[in-house]
């Protein structure tokens, strides 16, 4: 500990604390530009220079650590005049076009000049000017070089946090320019974090360009509706129209960062294609109707009992899902309720719930990342959960930590990984088993590319291990095997006295919450076991095919587009007499429905999401639902005849049913949310007794992927997932995200491409036994051989058409298009 005197005020801080932080702790404001807490220290803007007693030169406080007995002056005349002179220098070449600048009103330079700047500048020369027109560097990013003050926050955040290294400095002296490679169009993650960290209006958002001034905006903090990382952000709306999304340096696990989806994916809310009125099928055609008519129609026609079912999407709030399961279970009297989560069967999902210990309390990702070994399997994390990727990257910089990535594809985080493992999809269990075997016996088998023995060594030597388990395993028919292997590995490590944390990585914002709310054929809210098992998604469709389902309520899910066998799903749905689809867009599934109800988007409703850590966060209403659409909660309540008036009332009921949520105060949920607590729920009989994961795993035969009869004809295993710019089928309705990636592609490894004589960006024919399509090829160096990837986000080439029910992972061949 060091005691320092700052402006006469004594303060004791930890050794190595920066003077800047110490001064801020002591309550003195020091302006900074280049300093940003999570970035490397640069010390270049010289705004934070302060005087240290006994030193002649002023020192930058953002890079100078405190020393015991140091005397620091941050407010004396020398410092003040130095500060003013720095601002004078910065303003010398800064164009004073604040009236036209989008940053005006929230510009740090403006604020500091107002606070401590010179009121008058003797600068009478001509200003440096790079260009007259602002440069459009990407569909979402626009740059004005003239305004840049060269703090290089953009360069550092792109390099150190996002990991893209798309930006750098060109030129030197007064002609220095922070921009893309040779100032060309950016080929990057388009995450817009450069815009966020820019203290002036140099980096700007193109969709927000000239839409409003900051003081016009009604700004409301809410949660991102895409992946389950659960980033906090602030929506700015003007005249009931959302004009921007911004992250805040002070709140959420994401702090100032977001990904392209979160930051720019708000335009679907105001899309022309949104459903604005209820639709009823009359004479085989969907026609607009009134709310009363639609609701009474549903009440009248929807059956009850075992022949009914409900499928929900994990994009809904806890409250809606809770009411939905209440509707299905209490009103429609059935346990046939499931979540779409990649259409895994109920045994896989329930075993995953067990191994992930979802009934227990949540573990903060920051605690999870304290482990020495971080192992990620089953998720292309850079694409599925970009912000988790950022957090892991920043942790992995620490040389004492080991980051192990196991996935068939190579993605961005691999550049920060210490060990990368490649395997064929479906053999995740073998990878885990290999590690277990190596630790146990020192030998292992399996077709894994990469050094498992090294991974085993790292596991052996570590005290704390965190495993991130991706949602990919939920897709596997043999998912229970994988879970069983994980359970075995966990047991082994536990026995060795290691602390092991297993964290889920989900691709939908409220997957964890949905399970806790009882959206599962085997669990009631609070993951209490049901008396009579219901059917999962696959089983519901099987039953429908046989004509055993009469009524189906689909809440926000596009089964026709997402179920792995499009033809089968369509056939099965057509056998159901009465289908209700509640969604925001007229999806393929909605087109087959008898009643289509327009729901609300995330910005139009209140509620809570539970992210993958188990952090409950508030979703807040920003604008009223578009057109004649309604809040989903209102709709569900009026169908079910529930008396809930607001999300808070539902939450109070949730607190009674779900133990983990007991202590959470709905109104007090702030930017950091609240982690759910265990409250002994994990020991409350919520386990799947008798059919626990490990037992199933040992009983069910191992799927041998190599014995597939299609192996020769269709050499590629087709895997799918979200692209970095898209999420499910929702984002294709966003006209900004669609500009970033407009059409699907197929990605294969460099080795395969060489063998097939294919080159990057050429058109290829992708063919499975079910379907064929022409797609653009992307070649990635370092991915697993024999694996093809396609994003699942586009209606134009719907990936599920390649699949055939019962065959597991689809197999395709890729040919040159002639």
Q: How many residues bind other proteins (CB under 8 A)?
A: 50
How far from 41 is each of 38, 68, 160, 497, 643, CA to CA, in Å? Answer: 9, 22, 12, 38, 56
- Closer residue to other proteins (CB): 99 or 284: 99
Judging by DSSP bridges, how do beta strands 551-555 and 578-583 pair with one another? parallel
> Closest Cα partner for 193 from 139, 141, 242, 241?
141
Spatial distance between the Cα atoms of 225 and 243, rounded to a whole number of angstroms? 17
Buried-exposed string 289-313: b where 16+ CB fall within 10 A, e elsewhere: bebeebbebbeeebbeebbbbbbbb
Spatial distance between the Cα atoms of 136 and 205, rounded to a whole number of angstroms? 10
Spatial distance between the Cα atoms of 332 and 386, rounded to a whole number of angstroms? 39
Task: Answer yes or no whether residue 49 interacts with other proteins by CB under 8 A.
Answer: yes
Q: How far is the CB of 764 from other proteins (least distance, A)?
A: 37
- Closer residue to other proteins (CB): 92 or 295: 92
Q: How far is the CB of 57 from other proteins (least distance, A)?
A: 5
Helix (H) / strand (E) element for 382: namely helix 381-384
Q: How far is the CB of 81 from other proteins (least distance, A)?
A: 8
Task: Answer yes or no whether residue 118 interacts with other proteins by CB under 8 A.
Answer: no
- Closer residue to other proteins (CB): 71 or 241: 241
> Closest Cα partner for 814 from 765, 741, 748, 758?
765
Helix (H) / strand (E) element for 295: namely helix 291-301
Task: Answer yes or no whether residue 95 interacts with other proteins by CB under 8 A.
Answer: no
Q: How far is the CB of 248 from other proteins (least distance, A)?
A: 23
Ramachandran area for residue 494 (φ above 0: left; ψ -120 to 50: alpha; else beta): alpha
Task: Answer yes or no whether residue 415 interacts with other proteins by CB under 8 A.
Answer: no
- Closer residue to other proteins (CB): 131 or 702: 131
> Closest Cα partner for 448 from 785, 808, 812, 701?
785
Spatial distance between the Cα atoms of 306 and 463, rounded to a whole number of angstroms? 50
Q: How far is the CB of 713 from other proteins (least distance, A)?
A: 48
Task: Answer yes or no whether residue 136 interacts with other proteins by CB under 8 A.
Answer: no
- Stretches 124-132, 223-231, 273-281, 529-537: which one binds other proteins (CB under 8 A)? 124-132
For the segment 16-45, give every residue that binds other proteins (CB under 8 A): 41-45
Q: How far is the CB of 216 from other proteins (least distance, A)?
A: 7
- Closer residue to other proteins (CB): 209 or 778: 209
**Per-residue x/- track, 615-644, other proteins (CB under 8 A):** ------------------------------
Q: How far is the CB of 40 from other proteins (least distance, A)?
A: 10
Task: Work out the end-to-end distance of the chain between its first and last CA atoms, rounded to an integer number of angstroms.
Answer: 72
List the beta bridge partners of residue 241. 238
- Closer residue to other proteins (CB): 88 or 653: 88
Task: Answer yes or no whether residue 460 interacts with other proteins by CB under 8 A.
Answer: no
- Stretches 171-179, 417-425, 567-575, 733-741: which one binds other proteins (CB under 8 A)? 171-179
Judging by DSSP bridges, how do beta strands 59-60 and 49-52 pair with one another? antiparallel
Task: Answer yes or no whether residue 100 interacts with other proteins by CB under 8 A.
Answer: yes
Task: Answer yes or no whether residue 399 interacts with other proteins by CB under 8 A.
Answer: no
Note whether 786 and 793 are within 8 A (CB). no
**Per-residue x/- track, 75-94, other proteins (CB under 8 A):** -------x--xx-xxx-xx-
- Closer residue to other proteins (CB): 115 or 761: 115
The three-state DSSP-derived secondary structure of 705-729 is: HHHCCCCCCCCEEEEEECCCCCCCC
- Closer residue to other proteins (CB): 45 or 432: 45
Q: How far is the CB of 100 from other proteins (least distance, A)?
A: 4
Task: Answer yes or no whether residue 173 interacts with other proteins by CB under 8 A.
Answer: yes
Is 59 in a helix, a strand, or coil? Answer: strand
**Per-residue x/- track, 174-213, other proteins (CB under 8 A):** xxx--------------------------------xxxxx
Task: Answer yes or no whether residue 124 interacts with other proteins by CB under 8 A.
Answer: yes
Spatial distance between the Cα atoms of 351 and 515, rounded to a whole number of angstroms? 12
Note whether 174 and 210 are within 8 A (CB). no
Residues of the shown chain interacting with other proteins in the complex, contacts defined by CB under 8 A: 41-47, 49, 56-58, 63, 82, 85-86, 88-90, 92-93, 97-100, 104, 122-126, 128, 133-134, 149-150, 168-169, 171-176, 209-213, 215-216
């Amino acid at each position: 500990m060091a005691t320092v005197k700052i402006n006469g005020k004594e303060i004791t801080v930890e050794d190595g604390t920066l003077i800047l932080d110490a001064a801020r702790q002591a309550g003195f404001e020091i302006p900074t530009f280049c300093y940003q807490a999570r970035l490397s220290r640069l010390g270049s803007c010289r705004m934070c220079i302060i005087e240290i007693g006994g030193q002649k030169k002023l020192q930058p406080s953002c890079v100078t650590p405190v020393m015991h007995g140091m005397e620091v002056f941050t407010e004396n005349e020398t410092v003040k005049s130095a500060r003013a002179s720095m601002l004078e220098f910065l303003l010398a070449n800064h164009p004073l076009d604040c009236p036209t600048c989008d940053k005006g009103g929230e510009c740090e330079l403006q604020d500091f000049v107002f606070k401590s700047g010179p009121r008058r500048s003797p600068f009478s020369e001509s200003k440096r000017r790079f260009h007259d027109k602002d440069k459009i560097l990407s569909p979402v990013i626009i740059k004005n070089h003239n305004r840049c003050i060269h703090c290089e926050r953009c360069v550092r955040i792109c390099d150190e946090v996002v990991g893209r290294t798309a930006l750098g400095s060109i030129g030197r002296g007064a002609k220095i320019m922070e921009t893309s490679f040779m100032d060309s169009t950016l080929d990057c993650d388009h995450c817009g974090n450069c815009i966020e960290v820019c203290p002036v209006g140099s980096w700007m958002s193109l969709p927000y360009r000239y839409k409003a001034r900051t003081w016009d905006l009604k700004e409301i903090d809410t949660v991102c509706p895409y992946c389950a990382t659960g980033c906090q952000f602030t929506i700015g709306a003007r005249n009931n129209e959302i004009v921007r999304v911004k992250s805040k340096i002070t709140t959420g696990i994401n702090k100032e960062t977001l990904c392209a989806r979160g930051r720019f994916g708000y335009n679907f809310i105001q899309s022309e294609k949104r459903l604005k009125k209820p639709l009823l099928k009359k004479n085989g055609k969907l026609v607009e109707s009134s709310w009363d008519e639609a609701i009474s129609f549903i009440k009248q026609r929807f059956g009850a009992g075992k022949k009914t079912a409900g499928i929900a999407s994990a994009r809904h709030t806890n409250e809606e899902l809770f009411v939905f399961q209440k509707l299905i279970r209490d009103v429609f009297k059935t346990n046939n309720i499931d979540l779409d989560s990649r259409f895994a069967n109920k045994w896989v999902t329930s075993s995953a719930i067990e191994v992930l210990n979802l009934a227990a309390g949540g573990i903060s990702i920051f605690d999870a990342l304290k482990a020495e070994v971080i192992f990620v399997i089953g998720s292309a994390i850079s694409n599925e959960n970009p912000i988790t990727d950022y957090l892991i990257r920043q942790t992995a910089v620490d040389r004492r930590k080991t980051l192990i990535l196991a996935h068939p594809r190579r993605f961005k985080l691999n550049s920060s990984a210490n060990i990368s493992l490649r395997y064929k999809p479906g053999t995740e269990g073998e990878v885990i088993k290999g590690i277990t075997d190596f630790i146990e016996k020192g030998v292992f088998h399996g077709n894994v590319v990469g050094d498992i023995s090294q991974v085993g060594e790292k596991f052996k030597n570590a005290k704390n291990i965190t495993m991130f388990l991706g949602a990919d395993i939920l897709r596997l028919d043999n998912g229970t095997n994988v879970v069983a292997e994980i359970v075995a590995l966990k047991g082994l490590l536990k026995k060795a006295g290691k602390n092991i944390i297993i964290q889920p990585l989900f691709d939908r914002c409220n997957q964890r919450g949905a399970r806790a709310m009882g959206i599962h054929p085997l669990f009631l809210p609070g993951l209490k076991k049901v008396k009579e098992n219901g059917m999962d998604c696959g089983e519901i469709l099987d039953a429908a095919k046989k004509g055993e389902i009469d009524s189906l309520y689909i809440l926000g899910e596009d089964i026709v587009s997402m179920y792995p066998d499009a033809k089968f799903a369509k056939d099965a749905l057509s056998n159901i007499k009465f289908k209700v689809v509640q969604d925001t867009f007229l999806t393929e599934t909605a087109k087959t429905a008898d009643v289509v109800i327009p729901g609300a988007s995330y910005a139009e409703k209140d509620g809570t999401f539970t992210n993958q850590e188990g952090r409950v966060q508030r979703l807040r209403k920003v604008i009223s639902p578009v057109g004649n659409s309604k809040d989903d909660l209102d709709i569900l309540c009026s169908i079910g005849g529930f008396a809930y008036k607001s999300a808070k009332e539902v939450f109070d009921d949730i607190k009674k049913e779900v133990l983990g949520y007991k202590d959470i105060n709905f109104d007090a949920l702030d930017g950091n949310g609240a982690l759910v607590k265990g409250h002994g729920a994990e020991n409350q009989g919520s386990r799947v007794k008798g059919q626990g994961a490990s037992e199933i795993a040992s009983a069910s035969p191992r799927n041998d992927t190599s014995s597939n009869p299609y192996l020769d004809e269709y050499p590629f295993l087709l895997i799918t997932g979200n692209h970095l710019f898209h999420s499910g089928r929702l984002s294709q309705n966003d006209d900004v995200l669609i500009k970033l990636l407009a059409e699907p592609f197929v990605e294969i490894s460099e080795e395969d491409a060489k063998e097939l004589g294919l080159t990057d960006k050429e058109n290829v024919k992708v063919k499975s036994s079910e379907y064929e399509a022409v797609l653009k090829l992307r070649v990635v160096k370092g991915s697993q051989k024999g694996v093809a990837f396609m994003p699942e986000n586009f209606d134009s080439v719907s990936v599920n058409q390649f699949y055939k029910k019962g065959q597991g992972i689809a197999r395709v061949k890729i040919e040159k298009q002639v």
